[in-house]
Structure 1
């Protein structure tokens, strides 16, 4: 299980004059600091998939980067199986597999070499890495391009390789930041099937998305973040109940509107 409590993160604004009018009106702007995340809490149990929703700029990516230890939170805790991983970033990186929306591959390396490198960083044995790459290559349908240099990859190939690289060490929790953005239908289906396989293996998954169809198809739980605050955290059915007709689009809008009251 992973449990996040009261995460918060602010950033210094170097030049307030360069802020857009929308940014100047954002209530999270306080003096020379922008409080990207004010108070975010949620939890995911073993074998559950949580969909992280929110408008652009809500604080979702900042939250996920704190979970991955790429950012140090100003306050809050992240517990994985009752261990506070923020107190030990090295332990957190062992337990978490994180796919960022912006991390690129090493273009001169093949897909296999990119994955091998991350396996080595995690201290895996050569045989363990080879076995895991074989497994992931089949699951993510990578056989046709695994040994090509990644600078020649399509968007879908890059995303599959990035996912394999993130989970090569068999993490206890997997965090995916918009994993299907920019993918075609076939690549998207492969990624969604991979998330299902993680769920079947009882690995908790947190993934952010703007595609409500993916939420309905995969998720057990939903968390909605708006203006740096978790406005909803509950089961998929409880989220549907936010709208009279059970429509996810209506439930999302109703949750955001309630947070603005």
Structure 2
């Protein structure tokens, strides 16, 4: 840290910094992955050279240290998630697309985003460290990798529709479980690992979209497929990766979607 230029920083003299800030900055500045730290509710932003090079704006110079006029995309893409981090939750968002300014234009790049609350001596959250890791490829389960079989959890409240899609999936050779609502699906996911969550969007109680969001937090390797009889506008602006199918669909369409997940 002694080699960094802190003259532009809004943190004040280094001898007044808390131990937690010194520790997380030492880790961040010596890590090859892009990292940025938001310190305090005034959101002073600090970052390492990897972030400045790969995800920062054209004039971003490590280590930063000012409150940005426009928050970076890693900070602004999901305010609700950031607020949860301020409340003390460690969060992971796999394969999250971020819009970054590169080579004179806006480009979209996928990252695995890790948000880690940084606590002060009293235990209160004083800042949030964000790590932007290369986007991971969704892994298949051992069974799927060996013979193409997928473990699929179907969530459909219409019993006739549930029966039909389960029979089609079993005819393809997949292992299938089924429940009628999102709350029951989360209970199943708490006790077993799945490759695919196949859910209706409109469910009693928790919506299919909220189910998909919570399911990915519990099992980040899941591939999520939504089926809906409504307009795709319900799933057009998701904050997590998913595939959408319009009802009614036929067996060939279902097979093509499953093949695209491999």
After TM superposition, is the score higher than 0.5?
A: no
If asked which structure has higher relative contact order (CA below 8 Å, sep 6+), I would say: 1
Band the TM-score falls in, shorter-chain normalisation: under 0.3
- TM-score normalised over the length of structure 1: 0.26
